Amino acid sequence: MPDTLPLIELSDEEYVDLNTLSGIAAGSAISIQNQSDYGAVRLSIASTKPDPGTDKYVLLYPDPRFPANIDSGEATVWAMAHTIPGVPVAVQGV
């Protein structure tokens, strides 16, 4: 069973590298769960840090039934809060 990692709180001002913050290497399969009660999360897969104004993202809503599962072989996973700062996410290797 994968280790439980600390929650990562997201800013609504810039993207953060979930791979680096979680200690899970880019290209590894991971599962991301929005742990908030209210705020959405922007997820972007890219080799470089996305600009906060990019429209190349998917939204991860706070619903435990629907984590974002990223396949192995993908580039770095970036995240930021959609509109409300401080949204926590759980990241786990799979």
Beta strands in 25-76 (DSSP E): 30-34, 41-45, 58-60, 68-70
Residue 72 belongs to some domain of the structure: yes
Residue 17 belongs to some domain of the structure: yes
Residue 30 belongs to some domain of the structure: yes
Written as six digits, the tokens of 6 are: 């600390």
Domain containing 38 — which CATH number? 2.60.120
Residue 1 belongs to some domain of the structure: no
| pLDDT computed for residue 1 by the predictor | 45
Q: Would you mind telling me the total number of residues written for the chain in this entry?
A: 94
| pLDDT computed for residue 89 by the predictor | 97
User: In terms of residue numbers, what domain contains 49?
Assistant: 8-93
What are the pLDDT digits (tens) for 65-80?
Answer: 999 999 999 999 999 9
Our count of domains for the chain comes to 1
What are the pLDDT digits (tens) for 17-64?
Answer: 999 999 999 999 999 999 999 999 999 999 999 999 999 999 999 998
Residue 58 belongs to some domain of the structure: yes
